Structure formats: C-alpha cells, structure tokens
Structure 1
Amino acid sequence: MGVHGRFLEAAAREMAAACPGQARFLLWTLGRRRDDEFGKERICPHCFQFLLPDSRRVRLRPKMKVTPQIEKILKREAKSYKLNMRQTKLLKKYRDSKSVLLITCTSCNKTTRHFGKSRYFLATKTQNSGTPTVKSSLRTPDVKTQSAKKMTPVSCSRLGSKGNTPSSLPRIHASGQVTSSGSKTPRNSKFHFSKLKRMLNLEEKEKSQKADLKTFLTLL
C-alpha cells in the first residue's frame, strides 16, 4: 500500500465514529485503487465498512483432499503411465483446487470470497525458489606424461622385472611433482642407492670387457 492508501485508511478509521458516511466514502475510494498490496479482506466491498472481529463472520473452506482414487492417479503419473481423459480432469481439479476464505459482513449480510493459492502454483514456486547450484571453476592441473618421463631416472628404465615393482616406481601427485614411494624412510633410500651403485659398477665392467675384446682382436 502506498502513502496515499495509508492516508485514506487512517482517515477512514478516525472518522468511522464521528462521520460513518465520510468514512465509507474514503474506503470506497481506497477500494477502487488497484493495489495488490492492499488488504481487501479488511474492508467489505459491498457496504465499504471495516470488517472488525465483532462485525464479521469468517469461515475457511479447505482445498480438495487426497482421496484413494487421486492417490492412485498420482502413483500412475509418477510411473509415467498414460492417463485417460477422466483421470486427467480429476488430477487437474486436484492441483488447481484452492482454499477459500469466506467473510460475511453482519451489516449488509453479504459474503465475500478470497481465494488462496493452488497446489500447482505452490509446487512451481518452491521449485523456482531453490538454492542455485554454484559450479566450481577450479580444475586440477593436467599432468603431462612427457614431463614425468623427463624427471624419471634413466636407470629405472634399465631395471629388470625386479626393479619395476610398484614399490620402486615414482608416484606423480596432482601438483605435478614426482615423489618416490621408496624415499619415505632412510633405509629404503640406502637400499636404492646401493642398487644404483651396483648398476653403475656393472656398466663399467661391461665397458672394460668390450675394451679387452677389442684389444684381443687387434692383437690377432
């Protein structure tokens, strides 16, 4: 209700006891205003008087109740079954049913109906007023296999079936850093160090054997 509507209502309340005719004229002017926020249930639209607790009779007609037949139709609809014309009409009547507020003015003895909201309207409103889903823009960094290959030692590729065990292979985390599972304890680090040392010694022996073979062939 705007400022003008509040002024008319306050003036009508003040003049209701002193000049009822003037108060009714102000309420008639207020009733002609097309304002959705104005509480029409407080004023009788027929005699334009305030509906006080001692000058009105209020009744509430509830919505259509859920019968076993309607419950059966709702279950069929949930299972995506086809409904006939009669079932469709009954389901539409159930969803469009509204509660009605009946107010009877004791001065003019006329009843005014004020309709509520239907079940379909309330269901759509609750669906639309749900919390919006926020999509996270954070993504895990892509780990390239080439960088992982560059960071792995050359000796790991030369190991046999015993050296390619899952415990000795390096692990790649989401941040892109390569960590070895065997470097957790100093004992495992010593073991890998001795293994690498042994591999280097074997390579040196192979080279020395090849050199001795070349010298032997040249002497022949």
Structure 2
Amino acid sequence: MPPRPRHALRAGEPVIRQVLETGPGPPPHTTPATHRIFRQHRGSRSRVLYADHDPMVVAHLNAFGGGDGVRSVVADLCRPAQTLLPASGRTMDANTWEPVYRLRGWLDENAGGQTERERCLLRVLKIGEEYGEVAEAVHGVMGANPRKGESHTWDDVHKELCDVIVTSMVALATCTPDAAKVLDDRLRHLVDRALPTGEDAR
C-alpha cells in the first residue's frame, strides 16, 4: 500500500475540521490512520467518520479506537443521505452491532459440528425460548400463578425483553451478512407504513 500523503499546515490555510473516509477496510497497521494524520497536521479538533458497508470491519474499527471525535458506522455508498445522517437519525449504529457480532462469533466457535443451516435454525428457535421467559416474568408481575405469587418485577420484564431483542439480532446476524442493513431497512419500512407522509397520510 503506498504511503498516505502528508501535508504540513501553513499559516493562512483553511483548517479541515470534518473528514469522511469511505470503505476504509480493517484498521491500518503499517501506515498512519486518517484521523492521526489530520490531527497531527490539521489540528487536534478534526473529526473523522469512517464508513464501511461491512459490519465486521466497522466493529474492528471501533475496537481499534481513535479517541474523541472519531466514529465508525455501517453505511452503504449507494445511500449517501443515510450515511450523512446524524447519529440520532440512524436506527442502529456500530456500537450496537459490535457486541452482537461478538456474541455470534462466540456462538460460532462453540457450535461444534453444526452446519450453517442448523446454526440459523437453532438461533431462530432460541427467540421462542426467550419470549417464554418474558411471558413468565409478566405472569410473575401480575401474580397470575397462585403458587408463586408476585415473583417478578417490571425490571425483570424489561431485562427479558432485552434478551429477546439481542437474541433476535444474533439470529439475524447468523442468517444474513447484511443484518444491520436488513434491520435498518425493515424498521424504516414499518415506520413509513405506520406513519405515512405526504399524499399517503391523507
């Protein structure tokens, strides 16, 4: 890989404060990262956003770090408007998906002789098991079982709901390499269908 260009900042030159690098790939080990170059030569307050369509690359970039003002997001160059949305406008960011892919990797390493199809099926079925625990917690809150009484709290329900969500995300990440994009697209579709705008809202 050829060395990245270096440029010393001269008096009177405009200072670049925000940088977007698309398709960065895994963190570089033999050449300086973009954020280091800009902070060294363009000022310590430069903000850098790395955008890559591969969630595993983004998870690696986030683990690699970079400090304040450096972020990595899953983004598709065919959808530039979505890439440039502020973090609050995105349904899920890499910080959400990174631990999901770590969990999937841990499960894969301990899957024994399971085929890819078997891993997908078993992780989808796991969602049903987690839902059952939510139902049990709700019954416990309501004291529906006379033998157990009020055995759970709403905090227990919240935790079990989180388990359902995480288990579903792991299952989705197992079934498709584009899990982040699939969920993002689906959520936007559901929102648009429920809350139509323009002529559709009339």
Greater relative contact order (CA < 8 Å, ≥ 6 in sequence): 2
Which category of TM-score, normalised to the shorter sequence, fits these structures? under 0.3
Greater share of residues in helix: 2
Larger radius of gyration: 1
Using the size of structure 2 for normalisation, the TM-score is: 0.23
